[in-house]
Amino acid sequence: MTEQPEHQLTLDDLAQRLSDFAAARRWQPFHTPKNLAAALTVEAGELLEIFQWLTPDQATAVMADPERAHRVRDEVADVLAYLVQFCTVLGIDPLAALAAKIDRNELRFPVPEE
């Protein structure tokens, strides 16, 4: 299965789908900021777990193995899902937060002169 680039997808649309998903299952009481931050950390750990014993070469080639590639995409999705839900619950715009951080980092880490 090749990964379909779905460039029409936006993070906002997915945030809305995740909100609707949780609401339909009445999961909102569990989705406190603290629980979502914990779940995000747990899922990040699960992504790292795939790599923990791999050599750098094995890690770079991880997407060549279909089963591992699926697992990596699945954990990426989990991390992003909890990050987006965390942001929704606290009213944070994650793209604006990242843009502002890149702005700050451009000042903090100037490009070295040749």
Number of residues in contact with a second copy under rule CB under 8 A: 74
Q: How far apart are CA 31 and CA 85, in angstroms?
A: 8
Q: How far apart are CA 77 and CA 15, in angstroms?
A: 12
Restricted to residues 24-63, the positions that interact with a second copy (CB under 8 A) are: 24-26, 30, 32-35, 37-42, 44-54, 56, 59-60, 62-63
Residue written as token pair 């899902």:
81
Q: What is the DSSP letter of 11?
A: H
Restricted to residues 70-109, the positions that interact with a second copy (CB under 8 A) are: 72-74, 76-81, 83-84, 86-87, 90-102, 105-106, 109
Q: Provide the minimum distance between the beta carbon of 70 and a second copy in the complex, in angstroms, as a whole number.
A: 10
